[in-house]
Amino acid sequence: MHWREYSKIMVPQIEQTLATELANSSFVPQLRDAMTYAVMAGGKRLRPMLTLAVLTTYQLPTDQYLKPASALELIHTYSLIHDDLPAMDDDDLRRGKPTTHKAFGEDIAILAGDGLQPLAFEWLTDDNDIMSATQKVQLVTALAKASGAVGMVAGQVLDIAGMHSESVTLNETQTIHYHKTGALIAYALQAGAIMAGATKVVQESLYDFGMAYGLAFQIKDDLDDYVAGKVEAQAYPTILGVTATKDMLQKQVNIAQESLDKFHELTQLDTKLLASFLDYFTDKTE
């Protein structure tokens, strides 16, 4: 199955899981409304879908893992809420809708983000028997690292520093995106391996696949923005030019494929579904 067909099956299930779990919560209504508004604002649901794609590769029943897989979307949403705040990017719109702080006020928006972060860890440790206590601890530890001060938050700090700098180097830009974008996508792949009970070396192969995929995702995003006329100092086409940026994108795709090949060698599992996610980068950017 190709990722585009897979998304048509899995994204509605992820959406339903998010909506149902939030609706059934006992949170203060105003807080629940703000959290739900932000989470259900749309998006590709790429991260939980990658986790579930690993489980599908292992031929495990994805319906039993929807809640822990969707936990990552809570972290991603919390980061977007805070990213949009006046103290950060100061954005009024996200995906064509008012940002959470515009819809609910800065105070409630901050608290909605604060509420989503620990809720993600609660979903990972939910009382069920599909994973062992050891697996749950591994997931919590891995997500804490990916989303915290050595992962996504570090990338956000470096991003802010870059915005106040007169020039940003290629290495600095890559470091920002390895942390800010790559870390959570790499976790998504690693999480699937942990849920499947994979060995450390197998987890590492998928983590490497995710990190290369994450950087490629950011590079393509920069290319698409550049072509659309959105030029930013910290974007790859601004630093390298379009041709060199396309070459860099292909290099990351190659690294991701090599990591996936290693995963196949270690497990002998069919990797067609995971490999199809790389087709996202073959769309032409003129």
Query: Residue-wise pLDDT tens for the chain (286 aa)?
Result: 999 999 999 999 999 999 999 999 999 999 999 999 999 999 999 999 999 999 999 999 999 999 999 999 999 999 999 999 999 999 999 999 999 999 999 999 999 999 999 999 999 998 788 999 999 999 999 999 999 999 999 999 998 888 777 778 999 999 999 999 999 999 999 999 999 999 999 999 999 999 999 999 999 999 999 989 987 877 899 999 999 999 999 999 999 999 999 999 999 999 999 999 999 998 644 3
Q: Alpha-carbon dihedral of residues 174, 50, 208, 272, nearest 10 degrees?
A: -120
Q: What is the SS3 assignment for 224?
A: helix
Element (H, E) at 271: none
Say which residues have a Cβ less than 8 Å from residue 39's Cβ, sequence separation at least 6: 18, 22, 73, 74, 77, 116
CA–CA separation, 225 and 231 (whole Å)? 7
Q: What Å distances lie between residue 123 and 138, 141, 144, 149, CA to CA?
A: 14, 14, 13, 21
Q: pTM of the predicted model, to two decimals?
A: 0.95
The domains found in the chain, sorted by start residue, are: 3-282 (1.10.600.10)
